[in-house]
Structure 1
Amino acid sequence: MLFIGDSFTEGYGAADKRTQGFVPRLAALRGWDDVRIDGIGLTGFLRPGYIEEAQNTYLQRLKRLHKSGDFAPNLIVFQGGLNDSRYGSLQLTVAVRDTLNTAKELWPGAQLLLIGPITFQTSLAPVNAAYKRGALIADVPFIDANTQPIIPQEENVRLTIEDRWHPNDAGHQLVANTLSDRINALLRETP
């Protein structure tokens, strides 16, 4: 399994990112024992990180991981949100589509999944919609965590760290549990 994402995927806010972030917790729930986490804060489908030269967009990282040749994932999960909010909807939709299609070309047998913004913010509706459109065009399942929030507004203080954005340990557990349930729902819907 390969997870590519931002600080949420990285496990930011958890007491121990390597073991207590939502990805390791989700992997444990699903029985996935070979998981590679490529989470880098302040990155997205279009945002490369702190500086443009960092070249850490999801597409650039995907290509580097493939070039390394040291693994072949059978599931690739992308997760993103706030970091792509500075870009236009059309530009973002195209970047999502292109990244997902490139993943299909690089690892033809891999299944793909895209998870939208995890923490509820109405301001992220355009990002969520662009992700959803890009996934639809690329024919990749999409988990909408914005219009169906995983961390609801009324629980934000209890489930996030001081920045009121990133999940704390309880929040990461809720994210893992909810994503596992939503993956089960996707599996039931898929013929």
Structure 2
Amino acid sequence: MLRRDIGGMPLWAIVLVAVAGITLAVFLGSASSAGGKAPRYTAPSDASTPTIPAPMPLAVFIGDSYTQGVGGGGVQWPALIGQVHGWDVENLGLGGTGYVRTSDVNGCGRAYCGRYGEAIDEIVGSPTYIVVSGGRNDFGLPTADIAAAADALFGELRTRYPHAEIFAISPWFDDDPPPSDPAEFTRAIQTAALDHEVVFLDAGQPLFGRPDLVSEDGLHPNAAGYQAIAAAVGALLDPLVTR
């Protein structure tokens, strides 16, 4: 017959002490195998916290119908450039306009469209990049007038947006040969640009001799033509921008 106590200690107390001893031995053995340190609690990472993406740089494009995208069936070279760099594009291109020229419903679709300088007031936000392109509509006007308008435009842009990177691109023509002497016009724009720390880019004539890149109106690029213009601009612009 089993005794109910050992040395005066109840049997249930003996069992309790034995179980506690076994538990302690197992814990110490686990700690020893882990380098002598007891395991620590590590709070789980909060994987549900959303990551807020950085805002896209704003890029403003000022220009004529080539910048607006006339003839491209919805394809615009500024949008193509913006997609490559992750820009938020604000396209202020208006057909028939230039550094000096204004336009109306027959050229831009509005009752009145001002020269490039007047587009500044339509800029919404604080642009990181500003691109001014075109000028073919100004050909035939006095070079002095074009130079003065370009100087005023670049000066105003630099004053309002001193931290923006500003670019000026030479005008494009269709598949026909460009005017016999565009050099004087180009020099006027380039000089005005340099005076205001605006980078001048000569993107050549990507449509010249390529009727397949021109729309049915014989004047504006088609979708493939705007792709070609974007490639020509991108080759010059890409090394100069950070994103």
Counterpart-to-counterpart distance in 1, 2:181 and 2:138: 9
Counterpart-to-counterpart distance in 2, 1:43 and 1:122: 18
- C-alpha deviation, 1:131, in angstroms: 1.7
Counterpart-to-counterpart distance in 2, 1:137 and 1:87: 22
- Unaligned 5+ runs, structure 1: none
2:215 alignment partner, SS class: coil
Q: 1:154 and 2:209 equivalent?
A: yes
Q: 1:24 and 2:79 equivalent?
A: yes
1:78 alignment partner, SS class: strand
Counterpart-to-counterpart distance in 2, 1:98 and 1:150: 29
Distance 1:124 1:54, change over 3 A: farther
Per-residue displacement from partner, 1:118-173 (whole Å, max 9, x unpaired)?
A: 2261346043232222212222111113xx3222x222x11111333311111101
Counterpart-to-counterpart distance in 1, 2:240 and 2:206: 16
The corresponding residue for 2:179 is: 122
The corresponding residue for 1:47 is: 101
1:102 alignment partner, SS class: helix
Structure with the largest fraction of helix: 1
- Size of the aligned set, in residue pairs, is 175
2:187 alignment partner AA: A
Contact 1:44 1:80 in 2 (8 A): yes
Contact 2:68 2:94 in 1 (8 A): yes
1:90 alignment partner, SS class: helix
1:167 alignment partner AA: P
Q: Show the 5 A alignment for 1:2-151.
A: 2-16=60-74, 20-32=75-87, 34-50=88-104, 54=112, 56-62=114-120, 64-65=121-122, 70-119=124-173, 121-123=178-180, 125=182, 126-145=184-203, 148-151=204-207
Contact 2:97 2:113 in 1 (8 A): no
Counterpart-to-counterpart distance in 2, 1:44 and 1:122: 16
Larger Rg: 2
Counterpart-to-counterpart distance in 2, 1:124 and 1:184: 29
1:133 alignment partner AA: T
Counterpart-to-counterpart distance in 2, 1:179 and 1:110: 18
Q: 1:178 and 2:236 equivalent?
A: no
1:154 alignment partner, SS class: coil
The corresponding residue for 2:27 is: none
Percent of residue pairs identical: 28
- Name the structure, 1 or 2, with higher relative contact order (CA <8 Å, separation 6+): 1
TM-score by length of 2: 0.66
